[in-house]
Amino acid sequence: MSQTTDAIGIANSHWGVCGFTSAFQALYKANVGRQPLIHGAGIPTKVLAEIKTYLVTLKAEGKLGLLQEIETFTRSFPKTQKGTDFSNFTIDSYITLINNAVATKQSDEQLLWNEELHSIGMPPRAVVDYLDRMWQKPATLSLFDTNRTGIIGVKRDQRPMYGGLCHYMYRHNQKIHSWGQTFPSVAAANPNYTVICTIEFQ
The single-letter code of the amino acid at 59 is K
C-alpha 161/C-alpha 72 separation (Å) is 9
C-alpha 54/C-alpha 193 separation (Å) is 28
pTM confidence score: 0.90
Residue from 81, 117, 85 nearest 101 by CA: 117
Collapse the DSSP code of 92 into the 3-class scheme (helix H, G, I; strand E, B; otherwise coil) and give the result: helix
C-alpha 123/C-alpha 44 separation (Å) is 21
The single-letter code of the amino acid at 159 is R
pLDDT > 90: what percent of the chain? 57
Residue 114 in this model has a pLDDT that exceeds 70: no
pLDDT > 70: what percent of the chain? 85
Q: Which of 5-14, 102-111, 122-131 has the lowest mean pLDDT?
A: 5-14
38 vs 75, more confident = 75
Computed on alpha carbons and rounded to an integer, the radius of gyration of the chain in Å comes to 16
Q: Is 18 within 8 Å of 12 (Cβ atoms)?
A: yes
Q: Which of 61-75, 93-107, 139-153 has the lowest mean pLDDT?
A: 93-107
Q: On the CB side of 30, how many CA atoms lie within 13 Å of its CA?
A: 23
pLDDT band with cut points at 50, 70 and 90 for residue 33: low
